[in-house]
Amino acid sequence: MKHKRKIVFLIVISLILIGIFMLLGVNKNNLDYVLPRRALKVLAIVLTATSIAFSSMIFQTITNNRILTPSILGLDSLYLFVQTFVVFTFGASNVFVMNNNVNFLISVSIMVIFSMILYKVLFKGDEKNIFFLLLTGVIFRTLFQSLSSFIEMVIDPNKFLIIQDKMFASFNNIHTEILLISVIVILIVIAYVYDYVKVLDVLSLGREQAINLGVSYDKVVKRMLIVTSILISISTALIGPITFLGLLVVNLTYEYMKTYKHKYLIITSILISIIALVGGQLISERLFNFGTTLSVIINFIGGLYFMYLLLKESKA
């Protein structure tokens, strides 16, 4: 009951913030114009929050540590490299670029293939040291960012403008064309992972313990990596990369819930992520008057928290 009360409290806070976000500054003169647009923005926030929190929680469970996230290992950088490469290769007017649904499906497919390669490199064999995983993530991020930067230097300026729209996270530039497919894919993923919730509880004990308890470790980890890639693709495609949000919300979830059960952890992380994004967007719009983007605020706070976790881990 204690965990359920905590979840209900977060639901109430989320609904209050969403209500404030939807209705602040609305009157009968602008009601028909403002509400539909804000509703789309809220939907994008909820989808993004769900994708990032869900994927980060799963990823930390299968890697068995509380520092790594898909973004830290370079999955969002891979997504941006794919976008840059597609525009450079096929042109700005090609269906792979202009049709957001086709573009999304291609990007997801490439990221799933990369996840399989990542699995072969990082998760086969003995359990890896956390600093080895971090070093690998830095290498991947640097590689994809360098390749993207090189292409941006030689690309046509008109094509570069298209790429630039995808480089920075912003809820003021949401790709609404993929909202429907994002909702469908996320619902399918949630339904799929539901059967693995108790398995994730066992995986959190570590590789050897999970195998001893009868979990088909390699098969489950491979499937969860595919799920993670799909979710990161959705969040990055909708609003762009937010590197440290997953790190923040998942660690706050562990501190808040004090449990190992993923049926509570996943829901809580999603709700905290929604609160962070809606509250942060309100601050960005009302306090800073659109002077800075939400991703800058989150990445600054998350970066500091990430360094704190690294120092804490090294002392341990």
Residue 272, pLDDT above cutoff 90: yes
Residue 121 has pLDDT above 80, yes or no: no
Q: How far apart are CA 278 and CA 21, in angstroms?
A: 7
| 207 or 126: which leads in pLDDT | 207
Res 54: pLDDT: 92
- Per-residue pLDDT averaged across 206-232, rounded? 85
Instruction: Give the pLDDT score at 122.
Output: 66
In this predicted structure, the answer to whether residue 208 has a pLDDT above a threshold of 60 is yes
Residue 1 is encoded by which pair of tokens? 């009951």
pLDDT value, residue 226: 84
pTM: 0.84
The mean pLDDT of 166-172, rounded to a whole number, is 60
How far apart CA 168 and CA 174 sit, in angstroms, is 11
Measured CA to CA, the distance from residue 112 to residue 93 in angstroms comes to 26
- Residues 200, 213 contacting (CB under 8 angstroms): no
Structure tokens at 203: 């995986």
pLDDT at 119 over 60: yes
Instruction: Decide which of 150 and 240 is more confident.
Output: 150
* Distance in angstroms (rounded) separating the CA atoms of residues 255 and 238: 29
- The rounded distance, in Å, linking the Cα atoms of 259 and 54 is 16
pLDDT of residue 130: 55
pLDDT of residue 151: 82
- The packing angle between helices 100-118 and 75-90, to 10°, is 130
Check: CB of residue 272 under 8 Å from CB of residue 57: no
Confidence band for 57, pLDDT divided at 50, 70 and 90: very high
Mean pLDDT for the stretch of residues 273-280: 89
- CB contact at 8 A, 57 and 123: no
What Å distances lie between residue 103 and 3, 85, 307, CA to CA? 40, 12, 35
For the chain, give the mean pLDDT.
Answer: 81
pLDDT > 90: what percent of the chain? 15
User: DSSP letters of 287-301?
Assistant: ISTTSS-HHHHHHHH
Give the pLDDT score at 164.
67
Query: Looking at residues 181-195, what average pLDDT do you find?
Result: 90
Residue % of the chain over a pLDDT of 70: 84
Within 13 Å and on the Cβ side, how many CA atoms surround 173?
17
> What is the model's pLDDT at position 29?
81
Confidence class for position 16, pLDDT limits 50, 70, 90: very high
